[in-house]
Structure 1
Amino acid sequence: MELWLIALATLVTVGRIWLLIGLAILSGWGLAYLCIRSRSFENAFVPVVNVLESIPVLAFLPIVLVIFVSGIGGPGGVEVAVDFLVFDAVAWNIWIGAYQSFKTVPENLFEVGENYRLGRARMLWHLYIPHSIPRISSNLLSSFADAFFYISVSEVFAVGIHTYATFGIGTLITGFLASANYPDLAWALLFIGVAVVLVSLALTEFARYSVAKYGVDTPEEIARRAGWGRRVEGWRRVLGAPGRRVSSRMTRSQLAAMAKEDSGRPAPRHRAGWWVGIGVLLLLGVAILYGSVEVVRSVPWTEWRSLFAETPFLLYSMGVDYLRVGIVTGAALLLSVTLGYFLATRRRVGRVVVPVLQVVASYPVPTYFPLVFAATFSFLSAAVPWGYEDIYIFLLAFLSCFYYLFFDFWIGVQAIPAEFWEVMDNHELGFFTRMRRVILPATFPYIVTGVSSTVNSCWAGLEIGEYWPNIAGNHSLIAGVGMMKYIGLNLALGNVANAAWVSLLFGIVVLVYGLLFTRNLMDLARRKYVVEEGVYAA
């Protein structure tokens, strides 16, 4: 295949990803603002997003098949279906990040906005959106990595004997792998590598810039070198327009002197915004319900009896997978508080290592993991004959989600105000004391967002790892037991009803998780762990 076609496919895929990331950011700002204006909408939004983020990309195939491929039909239907799958890979963590940042805006800045008599729209533009930019910048790293990680199962997907695809590098890679066209596969991987490196470098610099520009007294500084510094200043005038009119005109001492007489006043309810938000959720719910009803109608009663009989085993399989998710999340947290802290405090090293981690996180698993499996299978199967599959499954799940928590924590450490670093240095606090007394409490809102996205996104890695037939030659990677194995196996066999049933059970569990975990921890972060308020109180 000609190289220009591979290069064009890479550009198309990157463009598709960024268009959908832009849509996710804009919609995330709107939904997050509705959450802080209406507790009722927030109670509906948080569990729904947790459910949608937890459902793996492949589990949306029954809905995609019914609504887009069959409903719209033709190449347009396939393109919309692919866009939906890519959106599913990039949107939810951005939505959660925007929601979490809107929830943790310092009270003092509300008073500044009131002093300037900002209306709802100007408050959103000049206060909430600037405050969310550092959080969103960390989620951009994760979303871009996630989109490329699953691009080979988003741009081309199969249900039973039918395969659907649209033009993009993921489709080409799948074709190269199927035909054993390794020279063209190598060129495709090279083009992906170049694209990921360039985007990663840009996102890393933007993350640092966003912390320096929109953080509160952070130790990060914006470069002001000749030539490049003038360009940065030009960008500051564009990007820095929101927020500057609120924060830069008031000194920290003036903010600290302001009385918080209105801090206990409940936020007014805005019925128009509330109904718009409810309408968005209802529209999404109706679409999902339509796909589910069509699946249910196609299933005879005898098969439903079989599904009910299998339910206890499915719940047990779900419990096994939750144990796997817990182990992966613990490993990601350990990596974040060690390597993430080191890279955030050693900025020169971070400028090199962070883009490398972004590249590792972004490469589609089907392009390289079969080589890893083939190279290590003989050794692991002999050394650990009773559990080597779980080692591979853990590695796949870890690669699919560790970057959510890592990048959130990395940005959170950099966003800690300089005054806290001065206190830690003056008291000569050691690593563990810093972590326990300052770093972990200060980054708690970031950790909540990262853990939520890590837990919710780990399932997609499990689905790839628990059922991967013919991963290397005649060898297959198949888990002994697991809910994701059940979903993948039934989708491969065309048993859409079986996959839809276990997805429904899973959605109910995640709904409870969203209500009990994410929302309550977000509220806790808002009440006790807004580190910027410590600056104003000093």
Structure 2
Amino acid sequence: MARSDHLFRSEQFTQRRFTGADVMVLLGVAVLMYLGARLAIRAPAVIKGPDISLAPAALPTYALFSTGRMLAAYILSFLFTLVYGYAAAYNRRAEAVLMPLLDVLQSVPILSFLPVVLLSLSAVLPLGIAAELASIVLIFTSQAWNMTFAWYQSLTTIPVALREASSIFRFNRWVRLKTLELPFGANSLIWNSMMSWAGGWFFLMAAEIFTVGQRDFRLPGLGAYLSEAARQGDMQAILMGLGTLVLVIVALDQFVWRPLLAWSERFKLEMVESDNPPTSWFYNLLRSSRLVEGLSERVWRPLSERLDGWLIRRLPPLQMTESGEGRPAWPTYLLMAVLVAGLLYGAYRAGLMLLGLPLTQWGWVGAGVLATLLRVIAALVIALAWTIPVGVAIGTNERLARWLQPVVQVTASVPATALFPVVLLALISTPGGLGVAAVLLMLLGTQWYLLFNVIAGAAAIPQDLKYTAALLGLSRWERWRTLILPALFPFIVTGAITASGGAWNASIVAEHIQFAGQSYYTTGVGALIARATADGNYALLLAATLSMVLTVVVINRVFWRQLYRLAEDRFRME
């Protein structure tokens, strides 16, 4: 793809504010939530889930169930990331719709979408299947968006020379994906996968046990165990559940993430090898295993070569540009007309539901959005203040990373919602009370998106540029100003977009808390969503959710997209 064409696409996308695509996307979300609410009304009036045992003997089985749900959701997230990010990065027309849609999707709060998904599925499927699917879908929504943003950012910042070389060598889509795009984005994808799992663990309690009026949905798992322990105020069970979760996270770090990071070191774009590359004892064990080598030679490599040959024969070589500017056929126009008509009718029905909402409750929604916005800004500023220096230290110092990365992975993955009731009891009598505690919990749901992206960006800085900065005798401030911050800028923007979405999501559990039979809440749109869900007030739930989504989309369009444009135009690693 020519540089001028890519910059034109970037400017066309990032300079605009709102278009018809944005309006259609927002209408689509409103219609889907309305349809879900209508289906939810038809769900069984009373649902009683299975009892959750707090016995220590149940923990291994619960850990297995939760890890299985997380893995299923991650596979869906990874496939979604590859397809969605690829389409948005290489098709101008698709980008105009897909990126606004991604803005909306990552801003839809998981806990306001959960009752709609769960109740609508329970109206058409057996209860057990509906609960499992809803849990996986909701974990998916906490994993997919930051991975997709990172993949899109990687594809749009591939050096033009490498992109043009792939065209000169007549690579088709499969060869380019395998030899250029996946290797270039491997480091960022791995770090964001770690963050996605951490985000999934954070919302696991909400995804495995949920109450809507007289409907009590429960799935056996660590999240349900921790939630039930918090509801009963059983601190011993909370600690045992957290201990089991920590063991699972440490095992994943040692057997999955550390080996993947060591393997991805070969794909860094640099001319000088790093002094302290990431290492993994398990990765070294696999490399030295004769059994693994035999399986690779006799099974994996022949299968890979057959797949490569089959795809090379069936996919044509790529052209120098991929603008996606073909003229749509008439079936496309017909499909669009039907879609627009359906959206308009659904929007009309959703509008009738919203018109039935009293004016007083609309005032609650406005005040709640403003209060939550201030908390999100405070959490984001605090997160930026500490994640940038700490992330750079971890990403550029492998010895430090070897010790701190498992600690960060464990800390990020421990559901703050499990410990938050205890923190709340300590802060409830202080000035600010739940307002301060809400900012703290939103910070816990925000900071890791930034930290993991900063670590990935710092680790991706080429070693030859570090040597050049040292040879020039740059001071520490000059090195930060001319090398580190420019190199980190695209990663900071990606992390900040997903972090702000995470903060809005976390507001629902931060502003309305139940512990040991007591309810605590403060002014905020998250508290409104939580209370509307518990009361089955679908009109208020729809109004509060759409207000939150619209606020996040406006912020992304006015502020974050301008920074994305700056990252693509001025801070590409060329």
TM-score class normalised by the smaller sequence:
0.7 to 0.9
Aligned to 2:17: none
> How far does residue 43 in structure 1 lie from its aligned partner after superposition?
1.8
Aligned to 1:333: 384
Tell me the TM-score normalized by structure 1. 0.82
**Distance verdict in 2 for CA 1:281–1:178, change over 3 Å:** farther
> How far does residue 390 in structure 1 lie from its aligned partner after superposition?
2.2
CA contact (8 A) 1:220 1:414 kept: no
> How far does residue 90 in structure 1 lie from its aligned partner after superposition?
0.9
Aligned to 1:251: none
Aligned to 2:465: 420
Which residue of 405, 421, 427 maps to 2:450?
405
What runs of 5+ residues in structure 2 fail to find an aligned partner? 1-52, 306-318
Aligned partner of residue 216 in structure 2, secondary structure:
strand
Are 2:135 and 1:92 aligned?
A: no
Aligned to 2:405: 354
> How far does residue 527 in structure 1 lie from its aligned partner after superposition?
2.1
In 1, distance between residues paired with 2:174 and 2:551?
Answer: 37
> How far does residue 131 in structure 1 lie from its aligned partner after superposition?
1.4
In 2, distance between residues paired with 1:81 and 1:227?
Answer: 35
In 2, distance between residues paired with 1:165 and 1:284?
Answer: 36
Aligned partner of residue 406 in structure 1, secondary structure:
helix
Partner letter of residue 391 of structure 1?
Answer: V
> How far does residue 421 in structure 1 lie from its aligned partner after superposition?
0.5
- The one-character-per-residue Cα deviations of 1:240-275 (angstroms, maximum 9, x if unpaired) are 99xxx9xxxxxxxxxxxxxxxxxx975342769999
Are 2:569 and 1:512 aligned?
A: no
Within 5 A, what are the aligned runs for 1:160-239? 160-202=213-255, 204-206=257-259, 208-209=261-262, 211-217=264-270, 219=274, 229=284, 231-232=286-287
Within 5 A, what are the aligned runs for 1:5-84? 5-84=58-137
Are 2:489 and 1:434 aligned?
A: no
Tell me the TM-score normalized by structure 2. 0.77
**Distance verdict in 2 for CA 1:58–1:223, change over 3 Å:** closer
**Distance verdict in 2 for CA 1:422–1:272, change over 3 Å:** farther
CA contact (8 A) 2:118 2:130 kept: no
**Distance verdict in 2 for CA 1:30–1:524, change over 3 Å:** same
> How far does residue 367 in structure 1 lie from its aligned partner after superposition?
2.2
CA contact (8 A) 1:223 1:232 kept: no
In 2, distance between residues paired with 1:293 and 1:495?
Answer: 19
In 2, distance between residues paired with 1:61 and 1:510?
Answer: 19
CA contact (8 A) 1:207 1:411 kept: no
Number of aligned positions between the proteins = 497
Aligned partner of residue 446 in structure 2, secondary structure:
helix
**Distance verdict in 2 for CA 1:439–1:106, change over 3 Å:** same
Aligned to 2:438: 393
Partner letter of residue 88 of structure 2?
Answer: C
CA contact (8 A) 2:259 2:282 kept: no
In 1, distance between residues paired with 2:348 and 2:388?
Answer: 45
Partner letter of residue 455 of structure 1?
Answer: S
Aligned to 1:256: none
CA contact (8 A) 1:219 1:414 kept: no
- The one-character-per-residue Cα deviations of 1:338-374 (angstroms, maximum 9, x if unpaired) are 1112222332222222221222221223322222333
Partner letter of residue 443 of structure 1?
Answer: L
In 1, distance between residues paired with 2:176 and 2:72?
Answer: 26
CA contact (8 A) 2:69 2:135 kept: no
- The one-character-per-residue Cα deviations of 1:440-485 (angstroms, maximum 9, x if unpaired) are 111111111101110111012211111114x3675x5422x21112
**Distance verdict in 2 for CA 1:304–1:98, change over 3 Å:** same
Aligned to 1:269: 324
- The one-character-per-residue Cα deviations of 1:516-537 (angstroms, maximum 9, x if unpaired) are 4444433332222112x1xxxx
In 1, distance between residues paired with 2:448 and 2:255?
Answer: 17
> How far does residue 118 in structure 1 lie from its aligned partner after superposition?
0.5
What is the aligned-residue RMSD (CA, Å)? 3.8
Which residue of 527, 531, 551 maps to 1:485?
527
**Distance verdict in 2 for CA 1:473–1:75, change over 3 Å:** closer
> How far does residue 35 in structure 1 lie from its aligned partner after superposition?
1.2
In 1, distance between residues paired with 2:336 and 2:178?
Answer: 23
Aligned partner of residue 443 in structure 1, secondary structure:
helix
> How far does residue 30 in structure 1 lie from its aligned partner after superposition?
1.0
In 2, distance between residues paired with 1:61 and 1:108?
Answer: 45
In 1, distance between residues paired with 2:388 and 2:282?
Answer: 36
**Distance verdict in 2 for CA 1:446–1:490, change over 3 Å:** same
Aligned to 1:529: 571
**Distance verdict in 2 for CA 1:272–1:103, change over 3 Å:** farther
**Distance verdict in 2 for CA 1:10–1:283, change over 3 Å:** farther
Partner letter of residue 194 of structure 2?
Answer: L
Aligned to 2:512: 467
Q: Give % identity.
A: 24
Higher mean displacement: 72-81 or 139-148:
72-81
> How far does residue 146 in structure 1 lie from its aligned partner after superposition?
0.8
